[in-house]
Amino acid sequence: MRLDKYLKVSRLIKRRTVANEACDNGRVMINDTVAKASTNVKVGDIITISFGNKETKVRVTDVQETVKKEEAKELFEYL
């Protein structure tokens, strides 16, 4: 699954366009490498998102095309 779609489906970022812009600005990294929005996300990847002085680091535990709001937190775990 594309990185920008994963960020939206997992609700780490609320909108896909915002996720796309964050990737374009180099604020999203997968396994310590700056990632484009089209990068493929796999189970076990570590995603780091930087917004301002806040940094969020998560490990991908599951990849699904669609998920209910309540189950979105099951797609990743905070590190």
User: CA-based angle 58:64:70, to the nearest 5?
Assistant: 70
Over residues 23-40, the pLDDT tens digits come to 999 999 999 999 999 999
| Domains of the chain in sequence order | 3-78 (3.10.290.10)
Whose tokens are 């796999």? That residue is 42
State pTM to two decimals.
0.92
Confidence of residue 8 (pLDDT cuts 50, 70, 90): very high
Q: Can you give the C-alpha Rg of the chain in angstroms?
A: 11
Q: What is the pLDDT of residue 29?
A: 95
